[in-house]
Structure 1
Amino acid sequence: MQIYRIDHVAQVTGDLDAQVALLEGLFGFRRVRSWDNPAEGTRGTRLEIPGSRGQAWEVVAPAGEGSALQTFLDDHGGRPGLHHVGAEVPDLEAVRAELEVRGIKPTDGARGRWLEASLSPPEHGPGVLFRLRGPGSLDMCGDSSASVPESSTPSGPSLGVVALDHICQAFPDRDVLAGWYHGLAGFTQVWRTPDDEHPDMADLVLNVPGSTICWEVIMPRGEDSFIERFLDRNGPAAHHVTFEVDDWDKALAACRHHDIPTFDDEEGVTDGAAWKHTFIHPKHTGGVLVQLFWEERPGVWVRSDKVPPPWT
């Protein structure tokens, strides 16, 4: 199968207005359309991510009776969080056939406009949910009746996000998942840490063909890895989402202005250029662990432009 564009990351919440306000205020995202579609069980807002070349962040909330989003929230103890990654494919039926051959049974979306499935190896249980759309309608979240909202001007400084850099997934073996994604959809390895660089983890980064967004895979190492604990609680799910900021001091000042703490700060120098990164806890972002990074020169941080030897 072929993915030719990541369209959006979708976050589910029980309080749409508060989450949109947070994304506008702290993150500096801009609303581009909103919808309320009880027939399909969803309300939502699409927000533009600065610098992300068409990729967006969508916030969805239950609407009407029997909403699948309400079931999702109920199944997760009412906690908000990441719901799916929206992607475009050139042939939806070819994707269905490929997934079924690999033991993945996708769910049909509203009136057959899209498919929904975890693209992880099925024997490892549910992974990151993808919503896949073929050519035609742009509707993926019940937004066929979307309207353009009135513009708003959030008060205070924002993080200064300039790109959605990557989505990170936890998995027991990084090479198994990387090989699976490569065979399934052509994801290509562009960076990896040496096996023993970190005592409790190892990771690699994959390019998603046709997208500026990358996919990171992290795996546990050692006897007391935080990734092992995450996998025990959540399975091979999305671990965090990473944004690049253009000014580190201004980003941290924005967090202080909005009373948002950060943790696990790190910094270093690679090839003579500085880099820094930190995290914002899910309880301050609407259920998604967010990583922020800044680099003095492109390609010196985890999202590296140094391509390794060809895939083996």
Structure 2
Amino acid sequence: MDFFDNHKKLFRTALALFLGLTLIVAILPAINNQKNNAPLPGSAPLTKNEHAGKKSFIANGCVACHTQQVRNVDMDKVFGDRPGIPADYARIEREDFWRNTATLMGTERTGPDLTNVGKRQPSMAWNLLHLYQPRAVVETSIMPAYPWLFKVKKNADTSDITINVPDEYRKGIQGEIVATQEALDLVAYLQSLKQTPLPTGKKPMKFLYKREKPKVANNAASSGDNLPDGGKLYAANCQACHQANGEGLKGAFPSLVGSQVVLDDDIELFVDIIMNGYNAREEYAVMNAVGTDNNLSAEEVTAIINHERTSWGNDADPVTLEEVQKIMEFLKLTSEK
């Protein structure tokens, strides 16, 4: 009973048990995990600018609303090609002895998960405009604007990166809106966020609790093809730039309303743009290869095309799945040569 009456013995014993358990339960397993964890082949460390962008990402509070973790549940499939694994974070180290900004995995998704955002939305023009005024590109966005990452110049230098902001969001600003180096670094960091492909032969974890989505007939398809919902696919893959009304943004993203590319009976260029992107219009931002980046199937591409050809006053004939498949196969063969 003397042991329980001696507060010094009790404290020392409790302290020893705590330290021992900490060593066994936390420290030793962590050291072992570090030794057995290596970056995926093909992954690359952040560049100087990307690392500066990461610091800006933290300083501006982006970590409060955006996660960087794709869980192995089907509802997360929209955020990445596969569930995340420890090796995805192997290159991330402490900022210094006092600061640990390791994985930035986050705790909630007030905004979308950013694990693979560099692949989902690689356009610099879109990302800069989204930072300056999110509602200019996503009307219902609740993200705050970050205008302090930009400055106004009467005449921009040739080396400056300017953004085209719709008149309703300029608020009487006279001159050109130029991205600061911090804004460019932040976008560089966002564009660096891409899932590294697994080594050949390695299979990713499966997404669990998969909910089968029934296919619905596309009303625009005269061929009787049973296609996915083109409107939903457009919203997921195209709407961020071309807008819900298809009118795009003046000086940034082209309108699809009355577009010759959309309405032309020869759809080869249309399919090529969706699958391989487009960079032939000086007045507009470069379009990324949406179809390839998002692994769109021929059925999905057909549904998107038919949606765009029959929406917002467009009145073109629908295309068939067979037509799109042939063009996609031809484009694939051409790119492999």
TM-score per shorter chain, which class? under 0.3
The structure whose residues are more often strand, as a share, is: 1
TM-score (norm 2): 0.25
